[in-house]
A and B are shown apart, each in its own frame.
Chain A
Amino acid sequence: MGLKRKDILGLAEMGADEINLILNTGEALKEIIYRPIKKVPTLRGKSIVTLFYESSTRTRTSFELAGKYLSADTTSIATATSAVQKGETLLDTAKNLEAMGFDIFIVRHQSAGAPHFLARNLRASVINAGDGMHEHPTQALLDLLTVRQRFGHIEGLTVTIIGDIFHSRVARSNIWGLTKLGARVRVCGPATLLPPDIERMGVEVYTDLDAALRGADVVNVLRLQLERQQKGLFPTIREYHERWGVTKARLAAAKENVLVMHPGPMNRGVEIDSEVADGDQSTILAQVTNGVAIRMACLYLLLGGGEIA
């Protein structure tokens, strides 16, 4: 059985069965990355475009490689070189690309809902690669896969997400995915970086990092956008690091075998210390590898592929 949807826009609207299908498929496809000849013919003749209105290294490259490993033709468009500079609307750009025959649009946009807007207006599939502060579903899926690989399960784990929850699409997608698969989720950050009514998503809310870390199985540290400080959302980088920076000493409150994750790119010495980022508990590079596997799974399943036994 495949994925019964045209688009992958977020984890909010996905069921646990669909999430598990993607994780299982990603796990099965992952071995391709380790082959000497990293190519299978599965998506030969399919074409994929990454349409990114925000800068990205990891996500865009990860999608491109995922497409290439499956033999799809991939094209990348970044706003600096597109007609956006000439004042073309998002919809016109996308319609023109669709007319060229692309099967899947992978969209990153600073506006929440932009991929949904395109999905409504295009016959092609749309994968949300990050929309404003809304969702970044493939990041959450790769995080879930990383956690599952370490613990063998997700249900019952305590996962603490730390940092700028307010502006984070990674946090929102992770919260949806983790809670749907039965994890207990805590979020922690300064009060000014917590979104309103976040507890209604079924998470526990902390401003005290030590309390949030106590007994945690997984710690997911979010990137702090340094320009938030200039907007006055917290007083100084120094105070932020002092209170919410994950250091080796503070991590001791978590479980001994705690898994440390970060979606990247990191601000070393701000939200996470190098000792932690590069330490034995860190799984940050494994996340990146899983990113390619998860994106292969999404492309494969959207283009009609079924479960891999």
Chain B
Amino acid sequence: MRDVIYKRIIPCLDVDKGRVTRGVQYQNIKDIGDPLEYARKYDADGADELVFYDITASSDGREIDMGWANQVAEEVFMPLTIGGGVSTLEDCRRLHLAGADKISMDSGAVRNPDLIRIASDYFGAQCVVVSMQVKRRSNGRGWETFVKGGREATGMDALEWAVKAQTLGAGELVLNSIDGDGTKAGYDVALCAAVKEIVDIPVIASGGAGTLEDFLEVLTVGRADAALAASVFHYGTFTVGEVKRYLHDNGVPVRLLEE
């Protein structure tokens, strides 16, 4: 009996007022299209899941308009994670009703870590994703947790936060490297490996994907369970299918679509 964990490739869509947007290191945000169009394309390309963030929700303190999410959930039959501005159980319920299979929380969980436990008790751990905004410390000693779309430092060590999130009931962690976001300079492989060393739950690497080798490296050396990317997919550098074929050819177990 062989136990295979299939590595997941997950396109990530930043949504603002119902439109997909993209920036570099969370700045210079541009409107690049309709969420449903992207979702359909990634579904056809064999993406394993989709992640949506309302990128301005947490900085504005406003609620997410869920019309686009309903549309996506009604047309695309795959696991959906939605986040952005989640700070109460009521927020979680709203996203769940809109069609989210998993709820992603970041700043809200940093402000009130108990939200992780409350949501995990209510929906089950499999429904609760803690998304961490992480930056390398300038002295080279480890990583620090940020909030508000990477704009505000918390002073909290990222590895400590990862362990705490798991202890409180997170089912999965997303490690967003602020240094890497939109730069295509490669994932923070060391960060990923360091977190994998200390938690048991799945870890998703995010921020910095630029080449096929970046995916391979973070999923092997970095031991990530999944790799999340935006720019390379949105701008058509390569397709999800191309990434998975490359990983497969390099001995990484992935779910390939039948051709």
The answer to whether A and B come from one shared complex is: no
